[in-house]
Structure 1
Amino acid sequence: VTLTGAAGTLLADAGASAAAVRRGLLAGAGLLASEQLGLAEWCLTETVRYTRERHQFNRPVGSFQSLKHRMAQLWLEVVSARAAARNAADALATGSPDAPLAVAVAQTYCSGVAVHAAEECVQLHGGIGMTWEHPAHLYLKRAKADSIAYGTAGSHRQAVAESAELPGP
């Protein structure tokens, strides 16, 4: 595109523009951690509900010990993701100087938890989880897309390592 003789107004210099974009991306990544938390919570809640209703061998599927252990592990991950996402949101809301670190930690953890929760949701729903009749497969697609939306977990781990002045992973 060539603009010859077009009038324009400079809104910000290159440095201020770059800083504004960095702040916007940081806020987006921090808010995405909260979305990933909500996604993981929905998947866990829906999976627990389904395994209580679905019966096999005259027992609810959720009463089988191996499934209880998987859901208990997922619950622990969701609780930890909640702490990370809330810390990032608080750091962004208060303008904390630790906001970049809090967001990097939240994205590193919450993206993995969201994907794991969605995978478990599909798996524990059995065949219905991948059909058009159930939204579990949509949550898995969303979790996968969210996990790379503002940088991969690896890039956020690298940011955490750099902030601690350690070699990256």
Structure 2
Amino acid sequence: MTPEQLALRDAVRSLLDKHSDVRAAIETPHGYDKDVWSRLCDIGVLPIPERHGGSGAGLAETRIALEELGRTLTPSPLLASTLAAQALLATGNEEACDRLLPRIADGTVATLVWPWDNARTSLDGPARYVLDGDLAEILLATDGTDLYEIDLAGVTREHTPTMDPTRRLAVIHLAGAGATRLGRWSPAIRDVALSLLAAEQVGAAARALELTVEYTKTRVQFGKPIGSFQALKHRMADMHVLVETARSAALAATCEVSAAVAKVYCSEAFFKVAAEMVQLHGGIAITWEHDAHLYLKRAHGSGQLFGSPAVHLERLRAKI
């Protein structure tokens, strides 16, 4: 990373260390800490050009922020707002960009309805699993060909509780809602989504490993820290390899194929690391008070988001 990117990482990590409280955030009606979100926007983690009111950050900076958010499992509209902003920028519609992007840069929650699960090809039915869909003040949607701005006055939406309480999803009913065409839909948004999600998964997996190593240094059995036992050292070494190879896959996600590879590998690596975290923590890991179950639930949920590993493996096979 460049010195500027290292400084960004440190600023985001410091903010989250001081102010992020995942359990308090998920208990709020909106499911995230608005103060933390506002501070993130002030730091400039959204990839919005300066000419449209942003900080000039790119997707590389957003990936850094998402990795840090993954470490702490901090609920945030960053992923949803980023995908909406990228879809809007891809249309080349300067009027819409000038009107909407400054609002997104200032922290207005935006989201995107797109057919990542192949369940929607039109704008006349329910859209499921929409990131922050019940909170968004800017709603964009695509039918797979064009991008539209949806009039919220004609929309009904509802929060969908899931296994992972740190990720807010919603069902949005678009039938009868007004839609204004903004321009062409870019299929590359899927690759952006997968690469961003991979970065978040790497951050969460890395932190799960760190917490596990810390625990095995303090948990004593037979008069010794369990981290001194060779069998557990081997398991944690395997976790380290999974995290670092997942990091490499996430960093390499720059095209359709590499983004699909990152989605598959990072999803599976994160789940394995989170499962090992639970196993190596023992009984404490299955208590509500410990965060291990939150990492396992995030691993399961993020593995299915934007398509399961099996879906993307089929895509890769089709290209062979």
The TM-score bracket by the shorter chain reads 0.7 to 0.9
1:56–1:87 Cα change, 3 Å: same
Give the AA of the match of 1:11. L
Shift of 1:10: 3.6
| 1:2–1:64 Cα change, 3 Å | closer
In structure 2, relative to structure 1, the CA distance for the partners of 1:125 and 1:27 (3 Å cut) is: same
Summarize the Cα distance change of 1:83–1:57 in structure 2 as closer, same or farther, 3 Å threshold. same
Q: State the shift of 1:9 in Å.
A: 5.1
Aligned to 1:117: 273
Distance 1:145 1:56, change over 3 A: same
**1:157 and 2:301 are equivalent in the alignment:** no
Please say if residues 197 and 302 of structure 2, whose CA atoms lie closer than 8 Å, have aligned partners that are also in contact. yes
**C-alpha contact (below 8 Å) 2:212/2:277 kept by paired residues:** yes
Residues 188, 256 of structure 2: 8 Å contact kept: no
Q: Return the structure number with greater strand share.
A: 2
Distance 2:318 2:228 in 1: 45
User: What CA deviation, in whole Å up to 9, does each residue of 1:88-118 have, x standing for no partner?
Assistant: 1xx2xxxxxxx01110110110000100111
**Which whole-Å CA distance do the structure 1 matches of 2:180 and 2:300 have between them?**
40
Is structure 2 residue 207 aligned with structure 1 residue 51? no
Decide which of 216, 230, 238 is 1:73's aligned counterpart. Answer: 238
| Alignment-derived partner of residue 262 in structure 2 | 106
Q: Deviations over 1:125-163 (max 9, x none)?
A: 011111122101001000100001011111111222223
In the other structure, the counterpart of 2:159 is: none
Say if 2:228 is the partner of 1:63. yes
Measure, in 2, the Cα distance between the counterparts of 1:2 and 1:36.
37
Counterpart of 1:57, as a letter, is: F
The change in CA–CA distance for 1:113 and 1:2 in structure 2 (over 3 A counts) is closer
Displacement after TM superposition at 1:26 (Å): 2.0
Aligned amino acid, residue 272 of structure 2: H
Secondary structure of the 1:11 match is strand
1:126 to 282, 294, 297: 282
SS of 1:85 mapped into structure 2: helix
- Which structure has more relative contact order (CA 8 Å, sep 6+)? It is 1
Distance 1:148 1:2 in 2: 29
SS for the counterpart of 1:132 is: coil
1:124 alignment partner, SS class? helix
Structure 1 residues 25 and 56, CA, compared in 2 at 3 Å: closer, same or farther? same
2:46 corresponds to? none
* TM-score, normalised via structure 1 length: 0.80
Aligned length: 146
Percent identical among aligned pairs is 43
Question: Which runs of no fewer than 5 residues in structure 2 stay unpaired?
Answer: 1-174
Say whether 1:11 aligns with 2:182. yes
CA positional deviation for 1:67: 0.8
| 1:123 positional shift | 0.8
Residue type at the aligned position of 1:152: S
From 304, 308, 311, give the equivalent of 1:148. 304
Q: What is the root-mean-square deviation of aligned Cα atoms in Å?
A: 1.7
Aligned residue for 1:70, secondary structure, equals: helix
Alignment match, 2:293: 137
CA gap of 1:106–1:58, structure 2 versus 1, over 3 A, is same
**Structure with the largest fraction of helix:** 1
1:31 and 1:113 mapped to 2: Cα distance? 16
